[in-house]
Amino acid sequence: MRHVDTTLSYAQLLDQQDALASFRGEFYQKEGTIYLDGNSLGLLSKRAEKSLLSLLNSWKELGIDGWTLGENPWFYVSEQLGSSLAPLIGTASEEIIVTGSTTTNIHQAVATLYKPTAKRTKILADELTFPSDIYALQSQLRLKGYDPDEHLIRVKSTDGRILSEQAIIQAMTEDVALILLPSVLYRSGQILDMKLLTEEAHKRNIIIGFDLCHSIGAIPHELSEWGVDFAVWCHYKYLNAGPGAVAGLYMNKKHFGTMPGLGGWFGSKKEKQFDMEHMLTHAEHAGAYQIGTPHMLSLAPLLGSLELFQEATMGRLREKSLQLTRYMMDLIEIELSNYGFIIANPLEDHRRGGHVYLEHPEAARICKALKANQVIPDFRTPNGIRLAPVALYNSFENVHRAVQTLKTIMEKEQYKQFENTREVVA
Distances (CA, A) of 408 to 9, 122, 335, 339, 357: 19, 50, 10, 11, 19
Q: Which of 73, 203, 180 is nearest to 128 (CA)?
A: 180
Cis, peptide link before residue 346, omega less than 30° from 0: no
Say if residue 198 carries a ligand binding annotation: no
Where would I find the beta strands (DSSP E) of 144-280? 152-155, 176-182, 207-211, 230-233, 248-251
Number of Cβ within 10 Å of residue 330's Cβ equals 18
Say if residue 131 carries a ligand binding annotation: yes
Say if residue 151 carries a ligand binding annotation: no
Cβ burial, residue 7 (10 Å; 0-12/13-18/19+): exposed
Say if residue 147 carries a ligand binding annotation: no
Residue 177 CA to residue 246 CA, distance in Å, equals 28
Cβ burial, residue 174 (10 Å; 0-12/13-18/19+): exposed
Residue 371 CA to residue 319 CA, distance in Å, equals 28
Say if residue 260 carries a ligand binding annotation: no
Say if residue 103 carries a ligand binding annotation: yes
H or E segment and range at residue 357: strand 356-359
What is the C-alpha radius of gyration for the chain, rounded to an integer number of angstroms? Answer: 22
Q: At what angle do helices 8-16 and 396-411 cross, to 10 degrees?
A: 160
Q: Specify the DSSP class assigned to residue 268.
A: B
Residue 412 CA to residue 18 CA, distance in Å, equals 33
Say if residue 5 carries a ligand binding annotation: no
Say if residue 313 carries a ligand binding annotation: no
Say if residue 133 carries a ligand binding annotation: yes
Tell whether the torsion through CA atoms of 391, 298, 128 and 423 is positive or negative.
positive
**Is 286 strand, coil or helix?**
helix
Enumerate the β-bridge partners of residue 376: 35
Q: Point out the annotated binding site.
A: 102-103, 130-133, 211, 214, 236, 265, 293
Q: Point out the annotated binding site for pyridoxal 5'-phosphate.
A: 102-103, 130-133, 211, 214, 236, 265, 293
